[in-house]
Amino acid sequence: MSDVIYQAQPPLEFIPPALNPLFLRFVHLFLPSWMRWKTAIADVEADKVEILVDLYRQFQDGKIRFMLAFRHPKVDDPFCLGYLLSQLVPKVARYQGTILESPIHAHFIYDRGIPLWAGSHVGWIASNLGGTPIQRGKADWTGLRSARELFVNGKFPMAAAPEGATNGLSEFISPLEPGIAQLSFWCAEDLQKAQRSEQVLIVPVGIKYSYVEAPWEAIATLLSELEADSGLPVQGNNPSFESLYPRLLNVAEHLMSLMEKFYTRFYHQKLPDIKIVEGQDRNEALAARLQAMLNIILQVPEQYFDLHPIGNLTDRCRRVEQAGWNYIFREEFKDVKKLSAVEKGLGDRIAEEANLRMWHMRLVESFVAVTGKYIQEKPTAERFAETTLLLWDMVTRIKGSNPFKRPQLGKQKARITIGEPISVSERYPVYKATRQGARQSVTELTKDLQQAMEKM
């Protein structure tokens, strides 16, 4: 995490997209080698790539504009999408005899906060690849105008994750945010105003990860680490689901108890009365306690920033994040030389306090998609590993270490599925008819996109 967020700063500057064709060519050339070297991804496979080939042909012929709405379970997703577009789409096009202009690429929308924790160089890379940033927790009109302009006039199609953030789970989709649907209707509106005939589409893209070999031994080792860090006796390293699952539940229940005591004692939060019925399934009891705990954790920064707990956990996290940015990135710090040493010091204290309060929100952010039944419904090594890694994220944050340096439990392969395009243009007449029709159209399109992604 960058030290910049411990000090008051000028407002976050917009990073304009500045596509660099030479840099894009370099990235496409070295992406396969880089993925093998730097990630756990050993292979990327894709289904229904011919749909994308046809869409790019129509896009290059000036017949359509489209948005790739992709699943976002983990931080490796952009690399997989880059591989899909730069390697697999051209390969299938050649096989079909379809002529496409090179390069095959997509402009994309990314969170403006990423360069803060990943480094400013990431902002440079994103800009030179034609990406445009957005601040998630507010009406970022500069970011929205840039995304809207690229959607209508960009050299390439658009790509964005409608979930808004990673959730760590390959087989569970978080509730989609309405921004993708709204941008798509704006694109249809702008095309009509310009008297252009292109049709607007949204293309659902599924991404699912699986291990080349089930990493039970690595999971057992990681569980031993979590047991030691949590103060539990380290159990034997028998690498089987039957022996590991009770250990995972023990770690989760123990961490839950520690966090409940921590927040009730030191932050004066009150836990709701959760009645545990004798003989109740441990997963159900754990899920109920988790939801209650996430709520009281989030109340800590909400109370500090004077925010009302409105909406689901994801909505609340976004508002806390933006409130924190507002305390750290401040208009009066545009010219630090005009500030006295005391004013600068007070600003730094507020920034440091805001960052500490946002830490609580980050704990919640990691668990917004956890239901307690994810492994129970489908006891695979993949689901077990994903849940264990989420617990590792939590423990690592509590220890004050870097949660972005996740351990790799084994080599993985990614499977990408291209869904059937959803026509936005067909829905546009209802959208433009009335304000109520516009709101309803955005809601229905978001719902249909969610269903389409869940089917994949």
CA distance 155 to 98: 19
Domain extents for the chain? 16-212+413-455, 216-409
Pick the CATH number of 16-212+413-455 from 1.20.950.20, 3.80.10.10, 3.40.1130.10, 3.40.30.10: 3.40.1130.10
pLDDT > 70 in the chain, percent: 98
Q: Mean pLDDT, to the nearest integer, of 129-145? A: 92
- Tell me the pLDDT band of 456, cut-offs 50, 70 and 90: confident
What gap in Å lies between CA 67 and CA 55, rounded to an integer?
11
Long-range contacts of 59-65 (CB under 8 A, 24+ apart): 59/156, 59/157, 60/100, 60/101, 62/198, 63/197, 63/198, 63/199, 64/198, 64/199, 64/200, 64/201, 65/151, 65/152, 65/157, 65/158, 65/187, 65/191, 65/198, 65/199, 65/200, 65/201
Please, are residues 249 and 286 in contact by the beta-carbon 8 Å criterion? yes
pLDDT tens figures, 47-87: 999 999 999 999 999 999 999 999 999 999 999 999 999 99
Q: What are phi and psi of 444, to 5 degrees?
A: -70, -40
- Predicted pLDDT of residue 5: 72
In percent, how much of the chain has pLDDT > 90? Answer: 84
Going by pLDDT thresholds of 50, 70 and 90, the confidence category of residue 109 is very high
Q: In 97-181, which ranges are E strands?
A: 107-111, 131-134, 158-160
What is the average pLDDT value for the chain, to the nearest integer?
Answer: 93
* Structure tokens that stand for 416 in this block: 């990408």
Residue pLDDT, tens place only, 173-211: 999 999 999 999 999 999 999 999 999 999 999 999 999
Q: How do residues 8-21 score in pLDDT, each as one tens digit?
A: 999 999 999 999 99
Beta bridge partners of 226: none
pLDDT greater at residue 80 or residue 117:
80
Cβ-based neighbours of 298, under 8 Å, separated by 6 or more: 309, 313, 316, 317, 320, 360, 361, 364
